[in-house]
Structure 1
Amino acid sequence: MLEPGTLIRISQNLLRQLLQPRIELVSFFQYVLDQTLDVLEFDVGWMLLKEGDWLRIVAADKQHTDDVGRTFLISDCLSGLSMLKKGPICVPDLSEMPDEYRRVYKSPVGYVMQSELVIPLLIGDEAIGAFNIESVRVGAFEARHVEALGLLSGHVAAAVALARTRQEAAALSSLSLDLSRQTEMNDVVRSVLTHALALVQGKFGQVLLREEDVLTVRFTTNRPPQDLNLSVDVHDSICGLAVLHAKPIIVPDVTRTDYLVVNIKGGESGWQDDLVVHHTERPRYKRALEADKASIRAEFAVPIRAASHLVCGARGGVIGILNVETPRPSGFTEEQRADVLSLVQTQAERFAEGLARLDRDLLMELLRDALTRVDTAFGQVLRPEGDYLVIEATTGSERVGTRVLVQRSVTGRALRTGEAVYVPDVAADPDYQRYLGEEMKSELVVPLIIGSEMLGVLNVESAVPGAFTLDHARILAAFANQAAVAIDRARRFESQKLAELGSLAGDIVHRLNNPLGAVGMQIDLLKRKPFFAELVAEYPYMTHFLERIETDLNSAKATIQELRTALKARAPRLSGLSLRAAIAEGLARTTLPPAVEVVQALPEADVHVLANDRLPNVFWNLFDNARKAMPDGGCLRVTVDVASEPEWVVVTVCDSGHGIEPWRLDSIFEPGDATPGDAYAPAHGLGLWWTRAQVESFGGSIAMTSTPEAGTCVTLRLRRAGG
């Protein structure tokens, strides 16, 4: 039994540490564990703290310091189970532990443990972490140990909470300074979400800005960011509830209709808050990235086998799984299934090569071939790894690298049996996983309010039910006040800039529309002249010449119209576009002289990127700038790199023209800073500004390097679509 004097001594020691002018959490956690374990007999021990859906080891005994930093899913370890149960777990003999514990038990490296004791760290009803100690002796931990560690854990939990509160206060002060330095909206919303997730130890979220009854995603953690620019109705979404109540909203389970409104009020005795239960008529959570998969009716999973010299350690000879799905009620016909089996057999060596080298471009090429054969849009190629299958190629919204349990999936059944598995009705199959990856289970939404104006919401999500607490809501509500100020400042800066650009654009449109209209009218009058037929007969090339002028004229008019509306129109929703087709369209629209050589280094298989129908115009603008930079001819090189960064496609457009002075590169994408044009098309400095705006709206980035008299290179980083 832990003596009262010992408990008091440890508590006093912890308090002295907390009163230090500056507290370092890592050192403090190790001090807490050392103080605790000094009074207990054990062989190995850890202190773990909750970080979102995970538990992280923050301190360990001297023999296991390398374990610090390791993470475990709360639902996949004994420490997590004790937290979920909010009570101790004592296992006197690990060889006879219940199946519920055996399934998640993790044995420490280099030791054979015989008994284990886990005590959750509780503050009120909230579990913030756990103590975990083990012994090489059977029955090492008795009721007195459970009671002693339980008594101490309350003091430790309070000390940890206080230490975190001090750190959060310092963090909020630092974040305020960080946000005050930023004025670009994209930078601000990115910073807001990054800091918010750090405050609640989360990893999923979005910032949505409001426009009347619509909330639009301006930044997201999803990669690729397929929900960027996605709009949801305020009256038909969880995020909208925070707008309607103008208060933080906690949704413990997104599949249910109940949610909690957080009331935070300041009083004489400090902050007072409470949770009020509300209900909607139906669950409002929307899986925006998986909307199409909600209709899947049938699935066909085929094992991939190949020669052993390419892949070692294959499970029963199976090196991977090709999986296809369809929303058709009729599913896949016998002929279609036979066609997929034939593809897997005839292309086995290529599948093996792709899986062995993790060549995702090759795997995507093979996957698209399979999908074409069975006339569907959904599929994955998965690689076995221990108890999981890892997605290496997908046309869905699941991230590459997503893990699927072998024991709980149709694809896992194909791996276990080594046979193709066809499920004609997935609703009747208990193994079917409709939403692969980290399906969201709970949500916290905090409104962004400045004065009486609702700017939008800050939304964080978790794959664990009930992940968010009143404390999370409180700290994010405090942060949201600073975030709203930063977003409002960025919005005003953006509005001012757009107003100036609108005036400039209006002037450009006015100046160009009249001469372009005059050119079009003169061409039309020329065609009406009686001698036009004779002119064309004598000079046949005139027909082609005039057609080209009219084509370029229409293109110029379309560009002007797009410039006129771009500042006002909402960006089209992103989708997967063929990069090869966009580059080809951009080149087709560019009038390159014969003296300019075009060199394209594109991957053999087409790659799709997240963009909208403005992507070809982006390339046209870059190609046209290159043309102007090479009036006497040169080389235009377009290179596409799909290997360097798995989730990105890097496109480089280089010319061998006159280049740009180094001092101009820092502001080259700003409005009014034009690249040198030709005498017939004076530049107004909006082309590169518009190009950057479009690329960033795709969730990508753009950069430029240049050497005077040697040439210029523009590099685009675009999100890869469909894995």
Structure 2
Amino acid sequence: MGTKLDRYRTLNEISSVVSQSLDLQEILCSALAQVLRAVDLDTGGIYLYDEKSGSLHVAAQHGFKPDFIQEIDDLEIGEGFSGKVMESGQPLIIRDISQDSRLSRGIARAVGLTSLAVVPLCSKQKTLGTLFLISPNLRDFAEEEMQLLISAGQQIGVAVDNAFLFAAQQRRAEQFRVIAEVGRQITSIMDIDQVLDQVVKLVQKAFGYEHVAIAMLEDDYAVYRVGAGRLWEDPKFNFNPSRLKIGAEGVTGRVASTGQAVYLPDVREDPGYVEMKGSGTLSELTVPIKVKGKAIGVLDAQSKHLNAFDDSDLMVLQSLADQTAVAVENAQLYKQAQQLAVVEERNRLARELHDSVTQALYGITLHAEAAYRQLEAQRADLANEQLSELRCTAQEALREMRLLIFELRPSVVEMQGLVPALRARLEAVEERAGLRVDMSLDDHLDLSDRVQDGLYRIAQEALNNALKHAKASQIRLNLSGTLSKVTLEIFDDGLGFIPDEAIEGGGLGLDGIIERAELLRGELTIDSWPGKGTTIRIEVPNE
């Protein structure tokens, strides 16, 4: 072994090696190589304790064949020499392995390994694993050698502990990143099934859970709606049961009933567990999805390993379940708002029908009666005047009816996009009303649904104004854009108005145009003057 100076030099080298990295595998391999070199041996390894499985696993080794590693891997506490050191926290020296009754696996005798030294890897009064060295010949490990190994075990233990802490911090950072990413992606989705599908896919991909699923409450049952992972991707797997009685069947039914998370480290020990045949599930973590304190569903993760989840998994799943609840509630509110908007739109159309078309039809009746009286009095010239007024009123009523009928159609924007919707509107209403229409529409713009809908509503309001109030004979509509912005411009040659006065008076639907422009974070310009026509231009971010 050499002098004390050699021992300190070796420990200093080990300290230097383990302090230069937070990569666990690099730390273990480098430290093991330094220790083997110091005691002039070629064979050894490092076990680390896995809290989830409750067993020791070979994390680094040198000089062993793969089949030997398989034989000595996965030791229980108290099993074998390293298992006993892990249990006691004390070093162990065996002069002749083959003659020791404590040897739990016979392969060591078969490969001819002879002497053994095992020391614990310790940090903060906690044993994290073991360092073991093996000699092919009989060897008495000197006291100085053992002191070196014990000190090396402490240094490696501290380095392992630091690497664990660093890995835990990295995992926690990744967990928060995924939680934020899930929140970012699902908050803009207004369809509940799409929300649920996105959540399970993101969670399964980010954390590698073998099976992730969401069940929603329907009457007295929790019904699985979406899933991701091995089970859902296997076409031969029959996800059964897919409906669980709330409060009576399985972990899902229990969580749906109590609103409390349930973790089963070993599902075989839970009498209420409902097995899905062929799943191979051994542990399960299920959390509630709650809105206003009441469970509306559950988020479920399963693993084919025992004790596969920990407190951080519980934190992640519950946080994601809470975000899912918010997104589901938003989608429900959006659906309700859509339904309310439909009712309000019907009421608006009914008012417009009464205010415009009904009044026009009443006017047509009056003009027809007046013309009839003039004809009876043989006053053809006055009768012609009444018929001329009747014709104008009828044309106005026809324009109003076309406008209302077009607005009652299903949204072309949702079905085909902004450009086809604008073309359809101009062809169905303005051109048929006899206006001269010029269109310059960029067919290659890639716009979000929100921007398309907002721009269409602005164009619709501007075109309605030109048709109903401005008495325009010409309409020009331009739509263009770049990767960063899109511009919509509507011109009419109608009567025009003073913008400030019109905005202040709340007329011509300008309030709606201004409000929609603000929602799109757009820059709106209204250029108009009596007798000079009107140009409305809006430039919005392309996002």
User: Over alpha carbons, which structure has the higher Rg?
Assistant: 2
* Pair in the same fold by TM > 0.5: no
Structure number with greater CO (CA < 8 Å, separation at least 6) is 1
More helix by share: 2
TM-score (norm 2): 0.43
TM-score (norm 1): 0.34
